[in-house]
Structure 1
Amino acid sequence: MAKVLCLGEALVDRLGPPGGDPALAGPVDDRLGGAPANVACGLARLGTSAALLARLGEDEFGRAFERLLLARGVDTQGLQWDGWRPTRAVLVRRERSGERHFGGFAGDRGEGFADQALDAAALGAPLAQLLPAARWLLIGSLPLASPASGEALWRAVALAAAAGVPVALDVNWRPSFWSVGPEEAKTILAPLLERTQLLKLAGEEADWLFERLGASRRDPRVIAAALPQAPAVVISDGEAPVRWWLGGHSGELAPAPVPVLDTTGAGDAFLAGLLHRLCAEPELLAAAEAAQVRDAIAFACACGALVCQGAGAIDPQPDQAQVAKALKEWALPP
């Protein structure tokens, strides 16, 4: 049975040529992605069982996802199929440095996209099967950008709470997905911050969501203290050091210096690595030694670094042997 349930968008990253616009320049490179799908596939590659709860179009991309998930061993009983709306394709512009920027979308036929119509009622049966064995429910903020998928997300959070399953939230702020501005989106997202036991966010997301904390808004320990449930908090921020408040310990660690081809999915690989370790070592959340927490963060960092060296979010994801090799080559500071 799946240990981690990943709920949210499964979509296609349409990568433009380095330095080019995928809406205008070719050739483009279509890669299956979407943060929850990336994490589910990353977990499976590492050996932790995962399930994906998502809605896909009955189209070529949707069937490609199904084949990929089955090949990776991801549980698919929570997949929903939409005969009206297509699987979303996101236009991703890549800088020559490997950094990427999300633009518009492709494939809309006037009904929106399948991920926007994730059905809350249809989640009941698969969640009833999956939650008894689950260790984590992973969610992102993007389902909240649409009423139907937002309702589905909140139902899953409520059922997870009733089953005693902790929630991990990857903020994954993408303005292009929202029809409202940042301040209204922040208001919509705020209640979810108080329902999570693990909060993962980027530095600019911390600036946005915790502006009220002033100069301490990027301090994971201060962020945790500002929320009623005092969650674990991890801030990953590209080339900047990862910072954390986890298991009663705080720290920071610089990512591995690697040649970067494409940063798409690096944060998702990081989160897959961290959840993998949390499933194997649940004491990390509350009662681990500081060195054990740092080791888990280093493992997650190596997962993210390895993905940066390949194209797309899923194909370059490492297995445990590859991570172990990378950690041996990466001379960690004391």
Structure 2
Amino acid sequence: MAPAPLVICLGEALIDRLGPHGGDPAVDPARCDDRLGGAPANVACALMRLGTPSGFLGRLGRDAIGAAFRALFAARGVDTAALQWDAERPTRIVLVRRDASGDRQFGGFAGDRGAGFADQALDASALSAALGPLLATARWLLVGTIPLASPAAASALQLACREAAAAGVALALDVNWRPTFWDPAADPASGPTPAQSAAIAPLLQQAALLKCAAEEARWLFGSDDPAVVSAALPQHPDVVVTDGGAPLRWCFSGRSGELRAFRVPVVDTTGAGDAFTAGLLHGLLHNPSQSELHNQPEPLLRFASACGALVCQGAGAIDPQPSANAVEAFLASHDA
């Protein structure tokens, strides 16, 4: 039997339709590269590749994309006992623009037949029935903010967070702000409105581990200093602030620092942050001394950063995900 999940990843699984470098996936589909993705699905798959048992909680359409995810999760060993299937709504396709350097911007969706997408209809009542056995063994629940953009999925996410708290399962939050999921006409570079920030606030106040991009931290906290972010929340979570190729900054147990990004040839940055999150959770679960880890988190953060750097060197979010041995080999060849 497969080991019980130590991390439960809740949210979206979808297709990232990667446009040609400098091109538009909406008008140049012949040169697009369709890749399985979605932040929670990416993290679940990356954890399994690293050797940490994971489960995915989400909703997929009964379509070719859903079938591809079924095969992927089975191949990776991701627990799908709580995976929901939607006969009416398709799996979402996200249009991703890439510039010449591989950086990406999310620019709308494809595939909607008029009833929305399967991930928007995640059902709280069905989820509740499946959560108990998973939370009995899990140590972390990993979520993002995208489910909050749809009423049904928001209810399911909020239920999972409540039940995780009751079961003593820690919450890891990757903000992963994507305005087009809330409003397809929104500027992809815009921040959350006051109402959207208010919807996100309960997740921020429960998280034991918070990962956000620098601009997300500025929108939500008025500062991209991880110590300021941690101090602004009642539970004083561990905080990691990423900023592309700039140094990563962190605050663990009140101790702050930064880590330079690895310099690697970039093919596609999609999923690099999710690989980082998986590396972080993997290290937190497998480090024998949590107190030592919090006093000296640099090795853990280098491991997580290496996971992201390796994903940047391949196309898509999932295919390039490394094993723990591959990460260690990378670190050995990039010794500080």
Q: TM-score when scaled to structure 1? A: 0.95
Q: Deviations over 1:103-131 (max 9, x none)?
A: 01000000000000000111122211111
Give the whole-Å Cα distance in 1 for the aligned partners of 2:197 and 2:224.
17
Specify which of 178, 182, 207 is matched with residue 178 of structure 1: 182
Q: Does 1:100 align with 2:104?
A: yes
The equivalences for 1:15-34 within 5 A come to 15-25=18-28, 26-34=30-38
Specify which of 197, 207, 221 is matched with residue 218 of structure 2: 207
Q: Does 1:271 align with 2:271?
A: no
Pairwise CA distance, 1:248: 4.0
Q: Which runs of 5+ in 1 are unaligned?
A: 212-216
Give the whole-Å Cα distance in 1 for the aligned partners of 2:110 and 2:307.
30
Q: Secondary structure at the match of 2:95?
A: strand
Query: Structure 2 vs 1, CA of residues 289 and 10 (structure 1 numbering), >3 Å: closer, same or farther?
Result: closer
Give the whole-Å Cα distance in 1 for the aligned partners of 2:288 and 2:115.
43
Q: Deviations over 1:287-331 (max 9, x none)?
A: 53633x100000000000000000000000000111011101113
Tell me the residue number matched to 2:293.
Answer: 288
CA contact (8 A) 1:86 1:113 kept: yes
Query: Structure 2 vs 1, CA of residues 283 and 119 (structure 1 numbering), >3 Å: closer, same or farther?
Result: farther
Pairwise CA distance, 1:185: 1.1
The equivalences for 1:208-227 within 5 A come to 208-211=219-222, 217-227=223-233
Q: Does 1:190 align with 2:201?
A: yes
Tell me the residue number matched to 1:4.
Answer: 7
Give the whole-Å Cα distance in 2 for the aligned partners of 1:264 and 1:149.
23
Pairwise CA distance, 1:182: 2.7
Give the whole-Å Cα distance in 2 for the aligned partners of 1:84 and 1:289.
47
Give the whole-Å Cα distance in 2 for the aligned partners of 1:282 and 1:152.
33
CA contact (8 A) 1:241 1:255 kept: yes
Corresponding pairs, count: 325
Pairwise CA distance, 1:250: 1.4
Q: Which runs of 5+ in 2 are unaligned?
A: 187-191
Give the whole-Å Cα distance in 1 for the aligned partners of 2:96 and 2:325.
30
CA contact (8 A) 1:247 1:283 kept: no
- 1:148 alignment partner AA: A
Give the whole-Å Cα distance in 1 for the aligned partners of 2:95 and 2:331.
33
Give the whole-Å Cα distance in 2 for the aligned partners of 1:283 and 1:139.
25
Q: Does 1:320 align with 2:330?
A: no
CA contact (8 A) 1:175 1:182 kept: no
Moved more, 142-151 or 228-237: 228-237
The equivalences for 1:1-334 within 5 A come to 1-25=4-28, 26-179=30-183, 182-211=193-222, 217-281=223-287, 283-284=289-290, 286=291, 288=293, 290-291=295-296, 293-332=297-336
Q: Secondary structure at the match of 1:40?
A: helix
Pairwise CA distance, 1:61: 0.1
Moved more, 42-51 or 240-249: 240-249
Pairwise CA distance, 1:283: 4.4
CA contact (8 A) 1:247 1:287 kept: no
Pairwise CA distance, 1:186: 1.1
Give the whole-Å Cα distance in 2 for the aligned partners of 1:144 and 1:294.
32
| Identity of matched residues, % | 61
Pairwise CA distance, 1:184: 2.1
Q: Secondary structure at the match of 2:330?
A: helix
Q: Secondary structure at the match of 2:322?
A: coil
Give the whole-Å Cα distance in 1 for the aligned partners of 2:324 and 2:221.
35
Tell me the residue number matched to 2:189.
Answer: none
- 2:266 alignment partner AA: V
Q: TM-score when scaled to structure 2? A: 0.94
Pairwise CA distance, 1:88: 0.1
Give the whole-Å Cα distance in 1 for the aligned partners of 2:270 and 2:294.
32
Query: Structure 2 vs 1, CA of residues 88 and 282 (structure 1 numbering), >3 Å: closer, same or farther?
Result: farther
